[in-house]
Amino acid sequence: MSQAEIFDITTGRRLPNGRPETTEQITGDILSLCAEFDALNRQKVKLFDAIRDDKERECLVDAIEVQQEPIVYRLANLRATSIEEFRARARSLSLYLGDEHRTEDANSDLWPNRLTAAILRDLTADDAPDRDAVLLDLCRQFDADTRWQERYDSDALALPVETPKGRPEFDLVSDRWHGILRQIIALPAETDAGIRAKGRALGNALTRIVAVATGRSFEDQAEDYERLAMSLVRDLAGKEGPV
Give the pLDDT of residue 217.
58
Give the pLDDT of residue 110.
84
Give the pLDDT of residue 159.
45
Give the pLDDT of residue 243.
46
Give the pLDDT of residue 242.
47
SS3 128: coil
Q: What is the 3-state secondary structure (H, E, C) of 78-93?
A: CCCCCHHHHHHHHHHH
Give the pLDDT of residue 19.
52
* Helix residue ranges per DSSP H, 110-238: 111-123, 133-157, 168-186, 192-214, 218-221, 224-237
Q: Report how far residue 203's alpha carbon sits from residue 201's, in angstroms, rounded to the nearest whole number.
A: 5
Give the pLDDT of residue 238.
60
Its pTM stands at 0.46
Who's near 47: CB < 8 A, 6+ residues apart?
Answer: 57, 60, 61, 64
Put residue 28 in one of left, alpha, beta given phi > 0 → left and psi -120 to 50 → alpha: left
Residue 14, strand partner residues: 7
Cβ atoms 64, 11 nearer than 8 A? no
Give the pLDDT of residue 7.
41
Give the pLDDT of residue 210.
62
Give the pLDDT of residue 66.
92
Q: Report how far residue 213's alpha carbon sits from residue 222's, in angstroms, rounded to the nearest whole number.
A: 11
Phi, psi of 91 (to 5 degrees): -65, -40
Q: Classify residue 63 by burial, with Cβ atoms within 10 Å: 0-12, 13-18, 19+.
A: middle
16 DSSP assignment = S
Identity at 186, one-letter amino acid code = A
Q: Report how far residue 42's alpha carbon sits from residue 96's, in angstroms, rounded to the nearest whole number.
A: 9
Q: What is the pLDDT along the chain (243 residues), one digit of tens a residue?
A: 333 344 443 444 444 444 554 545 565 688 888 888 888 888 888 888 888 888 898 999 999 999 999 999 889 888 888 888 888 899 899 888 887 777 888 888 888 888 888 888 888 876 555 678 888 888 888 888 888 888 887 765 544 444 445 567 878 888 898 999 999 988 888 877 888 888 888 888 877 776 665 555 556 666 777 777 777 777 776 644 444
